[in-house]
A and B are shown apart, each in its own frame.
Chain A
Amino acid sequence: MTNSDINRFKDKAFQAFGIFCTFLGLLVLAIFLFNILQQGLSRIDWDFITSLPSRRAARAGILTAWSGTLWILVLTALIAFPIGVGAGIYLEEYAKKTRLADFLEINIANLAGVPSIIYGLLGLEIFVRQMQLGSSLLAGALTLSLLVLPIIIVTTREAIKAVPGSIRDGSNALGASKWQTIWHQVLPASFGGILTGIILSLSRAVGEAAPLIVIGALAYVPFVPSSPMSAFTVLPIQIFNWTSRPQAAFQNNAAAAIIFLLLITFLLNGIAVYLRNRQQKKIKW
């Protein structure tokens, strides 16, 4: 074999390895989903969705867990949306080239890399202890809001950046003030992108268990939350709790609850991808 034959062979071999690696990830994903469905699907029925948690696996349901998750989603969106979008607008439209803007940018990049469990410690000390909210839905939603803030800010900025300057110039030329331009022109034009960021951040929040465990959310809450001050549990914590029990019946419960959690996560991500694609197609400035 000549040298170039060997090189060509190496090239082909790497190609095969590349295909193998690329599909390895997808294969693991497939095995994993198959396994979850096989274990959990038979456990899902109306009772499972509408029952309170129980010490007996066959009677335990996820009513409190999914209603807690829903509460957390809505509260987190309400808190994180105005702050995140506001910060995004400020950084992109008002504070473009100052020292402060540079500092804010580095700071936000750093916050995005802080492990979620550290946010739990922050929430525990500030919201649960100092503000005396207890281990309530509100304390949980505030903690998760801070956690997802960097995602919303970054995607809001991207969306606003995509709006061309000519739109702003046109609006300004007609005598609109800076805020009028932002409110009537820039925000409507970038709304799709901003929404994508909100939805992505919610899909992140919906899967978080660690920070909520740290602030004291418990797996066993025998009632459906009725106000933001209620104690609560969420699907990931319920799954964690069932997973850590030795009995096989609880493992099936965990798998069934995972199916619900994945449905919510994939649904949210799917909407975000759809919005992003539509946005990219629609806009031709």
Chain B
Amino acid sequence: MRASRVSEKIIEGLLWLSAIITVLVTIGIIWVLLSESVSFFSEVSIIRFLTEKEWTPLFADKKFGIMPLVAGTFLTTAIAIAVALPVGLTIAVYLNEYAHARLRQIVKPMLEILATIPTVVYGFFALTVVTPFLQTLIPGLAGFNALSAGMVMGVMIIPMISSLSEDAISAVPRSLREAAYGMGSTRLQTAFGVMVPAASSGIIVSVILAISRAVGETMIVAIAAGQQPRLTLNPLVPIETITTYIVQVSLGDVGHGSLEYKTIFAAGITLFIFTFALNNLSFWIKKKYQEKYD
């Protein structure tokens, strides 16, 4: 009896330990990013990092302005959301208000296939199919550009927005929809006048999560967007994102402890701050508006 009680305690301890590992992972991430970037910022002032307009840590003439990488990340993300938000939201509304239940059952999992395809495969698609196609339409388009990387990234996150938004719209109580129909509204008026506003917190959460995903996405931009950090909003030229820069340095031979090595952690902590803020914002919105209809 006693032995079994002891082993129960040991098992519980082991289970507790596995749960605590997740906290250690978070601490590990923050510690690694902070410790390496603190030593980076002791050599390069944070003001230079935030205000210089060029990012050339690998050249002889070193400039450490993160802005070009942030601009590249922002540009590809904005293009991706410009593709995924209208399409994803339309799909969500169409599946919820118009489509037969059976069509929804078939289409939803098929769309989710888009989210399971490895991103390196999307990168290949952007580079070898989408860019040549766009070049026939836009003569000045460079071989590496933000436009096709962003568009393909948009396709990748369509199911994220459509699925989560669809869930949010189906969670709206039936009575609201019936009231709208009772007033003589068409399906379109019901959808965009009543259902979408009522589900807006859930839809906003899905969009914020999609933005966070696009900001952190790596392989598509590393393959198709180029490796030229530049401070521009022109989607037709090569750019570089934060994630691409980290890949670029990782592929090279940069000595451990060198300033170049530390730049990837400075870039990493910038990326982490962006996605952490977005994820917490979505979490906060979800928490705040969750029980609106209960």
Contact = CB atoms under 8 A, between A and B. Distances in A.
A130 to B, nearest CB: 9
A261 B28 CA distance: 31
Contacts of A18: 90-91, 93-95, 98-99
A179 B16 CA distance: 13
Contacts of A236: 118, 120, 219
Contacts of B14: 86
A25 interface: yes
B290 interface: no
A83 B15 CA distance: 8
A115 B215 contact: yes
Chain B facing A: main interface SS = helix
Interface in A182-219: 203, 206-210, 213-214, 216
Interface in B40-87: 86-87
Contacts of A240: 120, 123, 219, 222-223
A266 B107 CA distance: 17
B111 A120 contact: no
Contacts of B90: 14, 17-18, 21-22
Contact of A110 (B26, B87, B107): B26
Nearest to B113: A29
Contact of B243 (A110, A122, A210): A210
For chain A, which range describes its interface: under 10, 10 to 19, 20 to 34, or 35 or more residues?
A: 35 or more
A109 B98 contact: no
B165 interface: no
A28 B94 contact: no
Contacts of A15: 94, 98, 187
Interface stretch (A3-11, A55-63, A221-229): A3-11
B179 interface: no
Contact of B8 (A24, A85, A178, A262): A178
14 contacts: A14-B90, A22-B91, A82-B18, A90-B16, A94-B15, A107-B23, A113-B212, A118-B272, A126-B28, A177-B5, A209-B218, A214-B264, A240-B223, A262-B121
The 6 closest A-B pairs by CB, nearest first: A115-B216, A18-B94, A207-B118, A86-B18, A90-B15, A113-B279
